[in-house]
Amino acid sequence: MIYHNFDELLAQAAPHIRGGRTLAVVRPEDPNTLEAVVEAKNKGGLESILVGDKNKIAAGLRGLGHDPDSFAIVSADSDEDAVFTAADLVNEGKAHVIMKGLIETPILMKNLFKERCNFRTGKLISHICFVQIPSYHKIVALSDIALNIAPTLEQKRDILENAVDAMLRMGFDKPMVAVLAANEHVSEKMPETVDAAALKTMNQDGVIKNCVVEGPLSYDLAISPKVAAIKKCTSPVPGNVDLMIMPNISAGNILLKSLVYSAGAHRAGIVVGGRVPMVLPSRAAVAEDKYLPMLLAAAAG
Protein backbone atom coordinates (compact mmCIF):
# COMPACT_ATOMS: atom_id res chain seq x y z
CA MET A 1 0.00 0.00 0.00
CA ILE A 2 1.13 3.56 -0.68
CA TYR A 3 0.77 6.07 2.14
CA HIS A 4 0.54 9.65 0.93
CA ASN A 5 0.77 11.04 4.46
CA PHE A 6 0.93 10.03 8.12
CA ASP A 7 -2.85 10.21 8.51
CA GLU A 8 -3.30 7.47 5.91
CA LEU A 9 -0.62 5.33 7.52
CA LEU A 10 -2.18 5.63 10.97
CA ALA A 11 -5.68 4.95 9.62
CA GLN A 12 -4.46 1.73 8.04
CA ALA A 13 -2.58 0.72 11.19
CA ALA A 14 -5.40 1.61 13.60
CA PRO A 15 -7.02 -1.87 13.77
CA HIS A 16 -3.63 -3.45 14.49
CA ILE A 17 -2.82 -0.88 17.19
CA ARG A 18 -6.25 -1.08 18.82
CA GLY A 19 -6.10 -4.86 18.65
CA GLY A 20 -3.83 -5.11 21.65
CA ARG A 21 -0.60 -3.13 21.20
CA THR A 22 0.81 -1.84 24.49
CA LEU A 23 3.81 0.38 25.27
CA ALA A 24 6.11 -0.05 28.25
CA VAL A 25 7.21 3.51 29.03
CA VAL A 26 10.40 3.79 31.08
CA ARG A 27 10.27 6.59 33.66
CA PRO A 28 7.44 8.70 32.21
CA GLU A 29 7.84 11.28 34.96
CA ASP A 30 7.71 14.43 32.83
CA PRO A 31 4.62 16.24 31.52
CA ASN A 32 5.52 15.90 27.82
CA THR A 33 5.82 12.11 27.95
CA LEU A 34 2.64 11.74 30.00
CA GLU A 35 0.76 14.05 27.65
CA ALA A 36 1.92 11.95 24.69
CA VAL A 37 0.78 8.77 26.48
CA VAL A 38 -2.67 10.28 27.02
CA GLU A 39 -2.91 11.48 23.41
CA ALA A 40 -1.84 8.09 22.05
CA LYS A 41 -4.52 6.43 24.15
CA ASN A 42 -7.30 8.87 23.30
CA LYS A 43 -6.58 9.30 19.59
CA GLY A 44 -4.86 6.05 18.67
CA GLY A 45 -6.26 3.53 21.13
CA LEU A 46 -2.73 2.72 22.27
CA GLU A 47 -2.43 1.51 25.85
CA SER A 48 0.66 2.10 27.98
CA ILE A 49 2.21 0.62 31.11
CA LEU A 50 4.04 3.37 32.98
CA VAL A 51 7.18 2.16 34.76
CA GLY A 52 8.97 4.38 37.26
CA ASP A 53 8.41 6.45 40.39
CA LYS A 54 4.74 5.78 41.07
CA ASN A 55 4.21 8.95 43.11
CA LYS A 56 5.80 11.21 40.48
CA ILE A 57 3.85 9.56 37.67
CA ALA A 58 0.56 9.86 39.54
CA ALA A 59 1.27 13.50 40.43
CA GLY A 60 2.14 14.25 36.81
CA LEU A 61 -1.10 12.72 35.56
CA ARG A 62 -3.12 14.66 38.10
CA GLY A 63 -1.32 17.82 37.03
CA LEU A 64 -2.57 17.23 33.50
CA GLY A 65 -6.10 16.67 34.76
CA HIS A 66 -6.16 12.88 34.52
CA ASP A 67 -7.02 10.20 37.05
CA PRO A 68 -3.94 8.02 37.75
CA ASP A 69 -6.24 5.08 38.46
CA SER A 70 -7.12 5.05 34.74
CA PHE A 71 -3.54 4.08 33.88
CA ALA A 72 -1.41 1.01 34.54
CA ILE A 73 1.51 2.14 36.72
CA VAL A 74 4.31 -0.19 37.84
CA SER A 75 6.67 1.05 40.53
CA ALA A 76 10.44 0.97 39.91
CA ASP A 77 13.05 2.24 42.36
CA SER A 78 15.88 3.03 39.92
CA ASP A 79 16.70 3.44 36.24
CA GLU A 80 18.02 -0.12 36.10
CA ASP A 81 14.92 -1.50 37.81
CA ALA A 82 12.67 0.44 35.42
CA VAL A 83 14.47 -0.93 32.34
CA PHE A 84 14.45 -4.49 33.67
CA THR A 85 10.74 -4.21 34.45
CA ALA A 86 9.97 -2.95 30.93
CA ALA A 87 11.99 -5.84 29.45
CA ASP A 88 10.11 -8.31 31.63
CA LEU A 89 6.81 -6.91 30.36
CA VAL A 90 8.00 -7.50 26.79
CA ASN A 91 9.18 -11.04 27.51
CA GLU A 92 5.86 -11.83 29.20
CA GLY A 93 3.95 -10.62 26.14
CA LYS A 94 2.39 -7.72 28.04
CA ALA A 95 4.18 -4.96 26.10
CA HIS A 96 5.00 -4.67 22.41
CA VAL A 97 7.02 -1.44 22.31
CA ILE A 98 9.52 0.16 24.70
CA MET A 99 9.57 3.94 24.99
CA LYS A 100 12.04 6.19 26.75
CA GLY A 101 10.78 8.77 29.18
CA LEU A 102 12.90 10.70 31.68
CA ILE A 103 15.94 8.45 31.39
CA GLU A 104 19.15 9.00 29.44
CA THR A 105 19.40 6.94 26.26
CA PRO A 106 22.84 5.41 27.09
CA ILE A 107 21.52 4.21 30.47
CA LEU A 108 18.43 2.72 28.86
CA MET A 109 20.39 0.93 26.15
CA LYS A 110 23.16 -0.30 28.47
CA ASN A 111 20.68 -2.00 30.77
CA LEU A 112 18.33 -3.19 28.03
CA PHE A 113 21.19 -4.94 26.26
CA LYS A 114 22.14 -6.95 29.34
CA GLU A 115 21.61 -10.67 28.91
CA ARG A 116 18.89 -10.87 31.57
CA CYS A 117 16.64 -8.62 29.44
CA ASN A 118 16.68 -10.99 26.44
CA PHE A 119 16.24 -7.98 24.15
CA ARG A 120 18.94 -8.60 21.55
CA THR A 121 17.97 -10.86 18.64
CA GLY A 122 21.31 -11.09 16.85
CA LYS A 123 20.33 -8.28 14.48
CA LEU A 124 21.87 -4.83 14.34
CA ILE A 125 19.87 -2.21 16.23
CA SER A 126 19.02 0.56 13.77
CA HIS A 127 16.92 3.69 13.39
CA ILE A 128 14.25 4.38 10.78
CA CYS A 129 12.94 7.89 10.19
CA PHE A 130 9.67 8.21 8.29
CA VAL A 131 9.31 11.52 6.47
CA GLN A 132 6.34 13.30 4.92
CA ILE A 133 7.72 15.73 2.32
CA PRO A 134 5.25 18.26 0.86
CA SER A 135 6.74 17.95 -2.65
CA TYR A 136 6.84 14.13 -2.71
CA HIS A 137 3.85 11.92 -3.42
CA LYS A 138 4.19 9.49 -0.50
CA ILE A 139 5.83 8.77 2.83
CA VAL A 140 9.51 7.90 2.51
CA ALA A 141 11.83 6.33 5.08
CA LEU A 142 15.49 7.14 5.79
CA SER A 143 17.86 4.75 7.54
CA ASP A 144 20.13 4.98 9.44
CA ILE A 145 20.28 8.64 10.45
CA ALA A 146 20.75 8.32 14.21
CA LEU A 147 22.50 5.22 15.57
CA ASN A 148 25.06 3.63 13.25
CA ILE A 149 27.85 6.08 12.47
CA ALA A 150 29.78 4.50 9.58
CA PRO A 151 28.13 1.17 8.80
CA THR A 152 29.98 -1.60 7.01
CA LEU A 153 28.45 -3.41 4.05
CA GLU A 154 27.04 -6.14 6.30
CA GLN A 155 25.66 -3.53 8.69
CA LYS A 156 24.03 -1.70 5.77
CA ARG A 157 22.41 -4.98 4.81
CA ASP A 158 21.03 -5.30 8.37
CA ILE A 159 19.85 -1.68 8.30
CA LEU A 160 18.08 -2.28 4.99
CA GLU A 161 16.48 -5.55 6.07
CA ASN A 162 15.39 -4.12 9.44
CA ALA A 163 13.66 -1.25 7.67
CA VAL A 164 12.00 -3.44 5.04
CA ASP A 165 10.71 -5.85 7.71
CA ALA A 166 9.21 -2.97 9.71
CA MET A 167 7.65 -1.37 6.64
CA LEU A 168 6.03 -4.62 5.55
CA ARG A 169 4.48 -5.00 9.00
CA MET A 170 3.17 -1.46 8.67
CA GLY A 171 1.40 -2.35 5.43
CA PHE A 172 3.80 -0.91 2.85
CA ASP A 173 3.89 -2.77 -0.44
CA LYS A 174 7.19 -4.24 -1.63
CA PRO A 175 9.45 -1.27 -0.78
CA MET A 176 11.43 0.48 -3.48
CA VAL A 177 14.89 0.95 -1.92
CA ALA A 178 17.53 3.47 -3.03
CA VAL A 179 21.04 3.11 -1.63
CA LEU A 180 22.28 6.69 -1.71
CA ALA A 181 25.64 8.08 -2.81
CA ALA A 182 26.85 11.25 -4.53
CA ASN A 183 26.05 9.79 -7.95
CA GLU A 184 25.08 6.55 -9.67
CA HIS A 185 28.56 5.58 -10.82
CA VAL A 186 30.52 2.85 -9.02
CA SER A 187 34.05 3.89 -8.07
CA GLU A 188 36.53 2.40 -5.64
CA LYS A 189 37.46 5.96 -4.71
CA MET A 190 33.96 6.26 -3.24
CA PRO A 191 33.47 3.11 -1.12
CA GLU A 192 29.79 3.87 -0.50
CA THR A 193 29.12 3.35 -4.22
CA VAL A 194 30.76 -0.07 -4.08
CA ASP A 195 28.60 -0.99 -1.07
CA ALA A 196 25.49 0.24 -2.87
CA ALA A 197 26.21 -1.91 -5.91
CA ALA A 198 26.85 -4.91 -3.65
CA LEU A 199 23.48 -4.46 -1.92
CA LYS A 200 21.77 -4.29 -5.31
CA THR A 201 23.46 -7.54 -6.31
CA MET A 202 22.37 -9.21 -3.06
CA ASN A 203 18.80 -8.23 -3.90
CA GLN A 204 19.05 -9.52 -7.46
CA ASP A 205 20.51 -12.80 -6.18
CA GLY A 206 17.66 -13.26 -3.69
CA VAL A 207 19.80 -12.73 -0.59
CA ILE A 208 17.93 -9.53 0.31
CA LYS A 209 14.23 -10.25 -0.16
CA ASN A 210 10.80 -8.56 -0.26
CA CYS A 211 11.99 -5.31 -1.82
CA VAL A 212 13.59 -3.85 -4.94
CA VAL A 213 17.05 -2.38 -4.36
CA GLU A 214 18.74 0.11 -6.68
CA GLY A 215 22.10 1.74 -6.12
CA PRO A 216 24.16 3.70 -6.07
CA LEU A 217 21.67 6.51 -6.63
CA SER A 218 21.99 10.23 -6.05
CA TYR A 219 19.25 11.82 -3.95
CA ASP A 220 17.71 13.75 -6.85
CA LEU A 221 17.51 10.63 -8.99
CA ALA A 222 15.94 8.65 -6.16
CA ILE A 223 13.28 11.22 -5.28
CA SER A 224 12.44 13.02 -8.54
CA PRO A 225 10.35 11.41 -11.31
CA LYS A 226 11.46 14.26 -13.58
CA VAL A 227 15.17 13.51 -13.08
CA ALA A 228 14.49 9.79 -13.50
CA ALA A 229 12.75 10.48 -16.82
CA ILE A 230 15.54 12.75 -18.05
CA LYS A 231 18.15 10.09 -17.26
CA LYS A 232 15.92 7.41 -18.86
CA CYS A 233 16.10 5.05 -15.89
CA THR A 234 14.46 1.68 -16.40
CA SER A 235 14.51 0.66 -12.72
CA PRO A 236 11.21 1.11 -10.83
CA VAL A 237 13.03 2.78 -7.91
CA PRO A 238 14.15 6.21 -9.22
CA GLY A 239 11.43 8.79 -8.71
CA ASN A 240 9.35 6.31 -6.72
CA VAL A 241 11.52 5.48 -3.71
CA ASP A 242 10.04 4.23 -0.42
CA LEU A 243 13.26 3.73 1.55
CA MET A 244 16.62 5.46 1.28
CA ILE A 245 19.70 3.81 2.82
CA MET A 246 22.28 6.34 3.97
CA PRO A 247 26.03 5.97 3.36
CA ASN A 248 26.73 7.19 6.91
CA ILE A 249 25.10 8.97 9.83
CA SER A 250 26.35 12.43 8.81
CA ALA A 251 24.79 12.24 5.35
CA GLY A 252 21.53 10.97 6.80
CA ASN A 253 21.33 13.53 9.57
CA ILE A 254 22.10 16.40 7.22
CA LEU A 255 19.52 15.18 4.70
CA LEU A 256 16.81 14.83 7.32
CA LYS A 257 17.41 18.27 8.83
CA SER A 258 17.49 19.83 5.37
CA LEU A 259 14.11 18.29 4.59
CA VAL A 260 12.60 19.39 7.92
CA TYR A 261 13.98 22.92 8.16
CA SER A 262 14.16 23.86 4.47
CA ALA A 263 11.39 21.84 2.84
CA GLY A 264 8.74 21.75 5.59
CA ALA A 265 8.86 17.99 6.04
CA HIS A 266 7.34 16.19 9.03
CA ARG A 267 9.17 13.21 10.51
CA ALA A 268 8.89 10.45 13.09
CA GLY A 269 11.57 7.95 14.03
CA ILE A 270 11.59 4.49 15.59
CA VAL A 271 14.31 2.01 16.54
CA VAL A 272 14.16 -1.59 15.30
CA GLY A 273 16.23 -4.75 15.36
CA GLY A 274 15.52 -5.69 18.96
CA ARG A 275 12.86 -7.92 20.47
CA VAL A 276 10.33 -5.13 19.94
CA PRO A 277 10.48 -1.63 18.41
CA MET A 278 11.63 1.27 20.56
CA VAL A 279 10.86 4.98 20.72
CA LEU A 280 13.79 7.11 21.88
CA PRO A 281 12.67 10.75 21.81
CA SER A 282 14.75 13.56 23.22
CA ARG A 283 13.88 14.22 26.84
CA ALA A 284 13.14 17.81 25.79
CA ALA A 285 10.78 16.76 22.97
CA VAL A 286 7.23 18.06 23.22
CA ALA A 287 4.27 15.68 23.36
CA GLU A 288 3.46 16.14 19.67
CA ASP A 289 6.95 14.92 18.71
CA LYS A 290 6.51 11.78 20.83
CA TYR A 291 2.93 10.85 19.93
CA LEU A 292 3.47 9.95 16.26
CA PRO A 293 6.55 7.73 16.80
CA MET A 294 4.65 5.87 19.53
CA LEU A 295 1.91 4.90 17.09
CA LEU A 296 4.34 4.07 14.28
CA ALA A 297 6.36 1.81 16.60
CA ALA A 298 3.15 0.06 17.65
CA ALA A 299 2.25 -0.44 13.98
CA ALA A 300 5.70 -1.92 13.31
CA GLY A 301 5.61 -4.22 16.35
| Residue-level pLDDT at 105 | 93
Would you say 178 and 163 are in contact if contact means Cβ atoms under 8 Å apart? no
Closest CA to 139 of 238, 262, 266, 14: 266
Domains plus CATH for the chain? 7-121+275-300 (3.40.50.10950), 126-268 (3.40.718.10)
| Residue-level pLDDT at 291 | 85
Closest CA to 118 of 87, 96, 80: 87
Measured N-to-C along each axis, helices 79-91 and 105-112 cross at an angle, to the nearest 10 degrees, of 50
| Residue-level pLDDT at 236 | 96
Ranges under pLDDT 70 in the chain:
283-285
| Residue-level pLDDT at 283 | 62
- Cα 14 to Cα 279: distance, rounded to the nearest angstrom: 18
Torsion-angle region of 254 (φ positive above 0: left; ψ -120 to 50: alpha; else: beta): alpha
Tens digit of each residue's pLDDT (9 = 90 or more) over 149-201: 999 999 999 999 999 999 999 999 999 999 999 999 999 999 999 999 999 99
Query: Which residues on neighbouring strands pair with residue 232, listed in sequence order?
Result: none
| Residue-level pLDDT at 195 | 98
| Residue 270 burial (C-beta neighbours within 10 Å; 0-12, 13-18, 19+) | buried
